[in-house]
Chains A and B, each alone.
Chain A
Amino acid sequence: MALFPLTTCSGCENAILDLWIDIEETLKNIEITYAPILMDSEEPKNVDVGLVIGSIRTSEDLNKLFRWRDKSKTLVAFGSCACYGGLPGLINNFNISKVIIDIYKKSIEYESPHSLPKLMEHIKPAPSMVKIDFMVPGCPPPKMLIPKFLNAITYGHEFSLPTKNLCMECPLNTSSEKNISEIRRFSLNIMEQNKCFIEQGIICLGPVTRCGCEAKCIKSNTPCRGCLGPTLEVDESAMKFISSLASSLSLTDIDIKDLNRIKDLVGFLYRFTYPSSKINLMEEKK
């Protein structure tokens, strides 16, 4: 097995390392031949299982991805960056050259032979560039999912991601009718304990997010951000969420202009999945 990092924060690799004790048995049957975070080694000629981690930000990332697809019998997109584009994908909403000039006050020079690899104009998710055999989403993939997955590929079991949404695992799920009377920003001061976030008017993406993490964020008093991405059958989960939110608002207490209080809809609805979304295709060519 190899851990193939692209442009990554190393959170996914750390998630595997964190589980070292738990997956000790499984690891006895796995030989990690390449993992830049763990060891200095040359790229292997081929591997049985390659875990692609991170998003495709530069042309070098793309070349690596093509090369590693050829070297791996099974290629796995590990983590939301590899599966959907991830958090860095939010920059697809802007022109990357303008962003560079904004930050560094001058553009990147690509002419010299020792220069940096070229930035891709848009981050595209790995499944859209090469054939991916498995997807293990999450930012990072939850510790309940990783051992299941590693056992599956080691011993040849069937592996499939859970198909239900997070509300199925959520301890705050009361199955009661939602009637939101005020849209509120998430803050530890004004929250009611043991009450569904959406009922309190706090945006929680649980209804449109795949389960599998046993609602660990909810259990830490934080609304879901949707890091495991959408469930399989839904076309565009953000649209479903808009529909669900709009239909759950109180008729008497909420006015249309209250909706303007939600400042960053793209960030809320597409935090981890923007590059793989349909709305990312919307770009009026000027």
Chain B
Amino acid sequence: MVNLSKETIKFQPKIIGFLCNWCGYAAADLAGNLRRNYPVNIRIIRVMCSGRVDPINILNAFLSGADGVLIIGCHPGDCHYLNGNYKAQRKVHLLKQLFNEVGFEPLRLHIDWASAGEGDRLSKIIKNFTLNILKLGPNLMRCN
């Protein structure tokens, strides 16, 4: 179990999480009930569907100093609104391509799937993503 407390690690990543109401957010609730620990670096924002997340929201998050952005949607085929998660996956893919071209680390953006009953899986996803962002270091970009 990695110790991510302020005493041991100085750089505390700021991670913005867009969790869809029906799957991702419910999974986070379940993780809480099951007492599954995950790092507190993530700030969770509930959206009705992962497909609602606009690329401008992700860009603004990074320009405001977020070190990582995580989007959790329903598994492919299980979206409450049928295909919102597919749209989200494609938006994220194009955005990562764009980040790569401008020299911004595309690994700072990640999209994953977790159903409402997978509290354990969600806590693992958040833990792994936080560790990855820790390895990548702080987001040094400045916003005017």
Contact = CB atoms under 8 A, between A and B. Distances in A.
B54 interface: yes
Contacts of A236: 56, 59
A265 B93 CA distance: 12
Contact of A281 (B93, B95, B97, B144): B144
Interface size class of B (residues with CB under 8 A): 20 to 34
Contacts of A284: 103-105, 139-141
A246 B143 contact: no
A278 B99 CA distance: 12
A239 B54 contact: yes
A242 interface: yes
Grouping DSSP codes into helix (H, G, I), strand (E, B) and loop, the B interface class, with mixed when no group exceeds half, is helix
A259 B90 contact: yes
Contacts of B95: 239, 242
Grouping DSSP codes into helix (H, G, I), strand (E, B) and loop, the A interface class, with mixed when no group exceeds half, is helix
Contacts of B99: 282
B83 interface: yes
A239 B103 contact: no
A266 B93 contact: no
Interface size class of A (residues with CB under 8 A): 20 to 34
B62 interface: yes
26 contacts: A239-B56, A239-B95, A240-B55, A242-B94, A245-B94, A246-B91, A249-B90, A251-B86, A254-B90, A256-B93, A259-B93, A259-B97, A260-B97, A262-B94, A265-B94, A266-B102, A279-B102, A282-B62, A282-B99, A282-B102, A282-B103, A283-B103, A284-B103, A284-B104, A285-B142, A286-B140
